[in-house]
Structure 1
Amino acid sequence: MDLELLGKISLYAMGIVLAASMIEAVVLHFKQKGTDKPFDWHETWLSLVDLVGHKLLSLIPFTLATPVLNFAWEHRIHTVTTSTALTVFLLFIGQEFCYYWYHRFSHTIRFFWANHAVHHSPNQLTLSSAYRLGWFTKFMGSSVFFTPLVWFGVKPEVVLAVVSINLLYQFWLHATWIPKLGWLEYVLNTPSAHRVHHASNATYLDANFGGVLIVFDRLFGTYVEERADEPCVYGLTTPVTSHNPLVVEFQHWVSLAKDMFNAKSVSDALGFLLRPPGWLPNGEGQTTEELQKRASSAIEQQPAHAGH
């Protein structure tokens, strides 16, 4: 695998990504002008600021995952070369499997969610949402989820390059104007599946974690189909209303720090850090499970319509 070539492709791809997202923004601006939901340019600017900060911070030569990946490489059980189609395919599948769990834990462990929530903060889903990833992605140690691939014998830089290709694929998924894609919905992560992932409706929470593929979601029971009778409401369950990029980037970290500092015990502090976002020691929090139970209970308590 030619890493230098991949680097050049990545650079050109970033230019295409920025151009495409700006073209979409202009088209949507005129298309939604005068409607009850005009295009919100603030969301686009926040994504651009996030991208700039993300790129600048990536220049800092530090990440929690690097020592772990290096240790795994030094103690690898084999050395894998990506010179054949079979090894490339197996690397792709292995990376997808690891990505699925990385992404799922980013939603179910508050430490990881504090950064990943930035990606879910746009109340308007557009192509520019794809590159709002949070300033601290590099320092979170998220790459540790791909350690098994390195331990099996794939060079860390190759693994991370494949992950970058995965993320690049996901750019087009952040479109609201692309319809369902027929039988591809059973195999690939599509815009329809990813719209569900970005929705804050209780029914849609914590679903569709795949990168390129949707098969692991179907296998592990986290796939939810987009429904015409329940339009996606984008953003967080508590919507971000600030246009200040510092608020968008830091609010979940500040909230986490406050909860841990005010915790009544060490176990509660660790619970705030490692349990799902919304967790409270008294069991009356706002976790996905609790929100879905309340939504289900509310539906059951609704009176039946006459004649039904």
Structure 2
Amino acid sequence: MQDPNFPNIILYAIPFFILAMLLELIVTIKQGIKSYKSKDAFSSIAMGLGNVFLGFFSKALVLLSFFYIYENFRLFTIPVTWWSFVLIFFVDDFAYYWFHRVSHECRLFWASHVVHHSSQHYNLSTALRQTWSGGFYSFIFWLWLPLLGFHPAMIMLQMSISLLYQFWIHTEAINKLPRWFEAFFNTPSHHRVHHGSNPLYLDRNHAGILIIWDKFFGTFQPELDEEKVVYGLVTNINTYNPIKIAFIEWLNMFKDAFLGRKSLKNRLLYMIKSPGWKHDGTGKVSNDLREEWLEKK
């Protein structure tokens, strides 16, 4: 079988990103929604450009890893044909769900993913606010795909398709879509919940394209009219500096893990446990904050 050669569709989509943001800005102004702040948007765009640049290096590592497993350990050889693209759509989305969920429940992965949640605004530029470090290790959630026998080029293409899909859902310009669509797919409404810092909304709706995984695994939360989404983090970083946005949580995690007197086990747990966990029991993770909020209702 000849190796497939697919284009880097993310690079081709950049002009579309720019036009879509301009259109969204016009629409939201007409709707009276103040979703953009210039400094915040420029920070998001800077994070996106940095992600694209570093992607030339991280994607090389990812492809090498995928090809190494595919060439030496694959269990089957899945052909590049119409039905294999249908199959990889579902397995890639399943992999994305668990990558995304773990990125909220394990601080080592949160250290890179927090970048995407650091804006207190929600618009299409927020979709570009991407990690500078996650691409070098988050791919481990997809290593089982080349093991099954999916060609690395197919995997990379589907990962890009998933990323492209998720661009348009970062908007307040679209309220709710038809019920059948909201039932099966990730939508602006579902993803607004995911970006909320409200206790009720924390660590919910980890979907990539299909919302069905959240419903099946118990992490789904609909957007409620009576609970307006407050975007950002439980404790916001309050900076527009791209360097700080990219690495501040890495610094905080290493401080918690390596400074002060604590056991080796607890030092490791600061990288494995959820954000907010503390070895002395004084910390609060998202489930704690949600339970406290529900008790007050």
Q: Under a length normalisation based on structure 2, what TM-score does the superposition of the two structures give? A: 0.91
Which digits, 9 at most, give the CA deviation of each residue in 1:43-90, with x for residues without a partner? 11001111121122223367765564344211001111121x322111
Q: How many residues align?
A: 293
Q: Secondary structure at the match of 2:169?
A: helix
- The one of 97, 101, 105 equivalent to 2:98 is 101
What letter corresponds to residue 59 of structure 1 in structure 2? F
Match of 1:150 in 2: 146
Q: Find the counterpart in structure 1 of residue 114 from structure 2.
A: 117
Is 1:210 aligned to residue 204 of structure 2? no
- Unaligned 5+ runs, structure 2: none
Residue 99 of structure 1 contacts residue 211 of structure 1 at CA under 8 Å; is this kept in 2? Answer: yes
**Structure 1 residues 213-242: Cα deviation after superposition (integer angstroms, max 9, x where no partner):** 001111101110000000100011112311
2-side partners of 1:129 and 1:3: how far apart?
32
Q: Which residue does 1:80 correspond to in 2?
A: 78
2:66 is matched with: 69
Over 3 Å counting, the alpha-carbon distance change for 1:62 and 1:94 in structure 2 is closer
Distance 1:292 1:165 in 2: 33
Give the share of equivalent positions with the same residue, in percent.
Answer: 35
Cα distance in 2 for residues equivalent to 1:66 and 1:284 = 42
Return the structure number with greater relative CO, CA threshold 8 A, min gap 6. 2
Cα distance in 2 for residues equivalent to 1:151 and 1:127: 35
Contact 1:3 1:161 in 2 (8 A): no
Mapped contact 2:205–2:214 kept (Cα < 8 A) = yes
Aligned 1:244-255 pairs, distance under 5 A: 244-255=241-252
Q: Which has the larger radius of gyration?
A: 1
1:293 correspondence with 2:287: no
Deviation, structure 1 residue 157: 2.6
Distance 1:6-1:285 versus aligned 2 partners, 3 A rule:
same
Q: Does 1:229 align with 2:226?
A: yes
Work out the CA distance in 1 between the residues paired with 2:270 and 2:84: 41
Q: Is the 8 A contact 1:121 1:240 kept in 2?
A: yes
Using the TM superposition, give the Cα deviation of residue 251 of structure 1 relative to its aligned residue in structure 2, in angstroms.
Answer: 1.1
Query: Residue 304 of structure 1 corresponds to which residue in structure 2?
Result: none
Question: How big is the shift at 1:31?
Answer: 5.8
Q: 1:162 to 1:288 in 2, by over 3 A?
A: same
SS at match of 2:115: coil
Cα distance in structure 2, aligned partners of 1:283 and 1:237: 18
Q: Secondary structure at the match of 2:143?
A: helix
**Which residue matches 1:17?**
17
What does residue 44 of structure 1 align with? Answer: 41
- What stretches of structure 1 of length at least 5 have no aligned partner? 300-308
- Partner residue in 1 for 2:172: 176
| Counterpart position of 1:268 | 266
Aligned Cα root-mean-square deviation (Å)? 2.2
Query: Matched residues in 2 for 1:173 and 1:75: separation?
Result: 37
> Partners in 1 of 2:133 and 2:103 — Cα distance?
13
Amino acid paired to 2:196 = A
- Secondary structure at the aligned position of 1:52 is classed as helix
In structure 2, do the counterparts of structure 1 residues 30 and 298 end up closer, same or farther at CA, with 3 Å as the change threshold?
same
Deviation at 1:27, TM superposition (A): 4.8
Tell me, yes or no, if structure 1 residue 220 matches structure 2 residue 217: yes
Give 1:192 shift: 0.5
In the alignment, residue 99 of structure 2 is paired with which amino acid?
Y
- In the alignment, the residues of structure 2 paired with residue 112 and residue 29 of structure 1 have an alpha-carbon distance, to the nearest angstrom, of 36
- The aligned residue for residue 88 of structure 2 is 91
Mapped partners of 2:89, 2:35: distance in 1:
40
Aligned CA distance change for structure 1 residues 5 and 57 (closer, same or farther; 3 Å): closer
**Quick one: distance in 2 between partners of 1:63 and 1:121?**
27
Q: Distance in 1 between matches of 2:234 and 2:58?
A: 35
Q: Quick one: structure 1 residues 211 and 24, their matched pair in 2 at CA, closer, same or farther if it must change by over 3 Å?
A: same
Indicate if the aligned counterparts of 2:66 and 2:146 stay in contact, CA closer than 8 A: yes
Deviation at 1:252, TM superposition (A): 0.5
Amino acid in structure 2 at the alignment position of 1:137: G
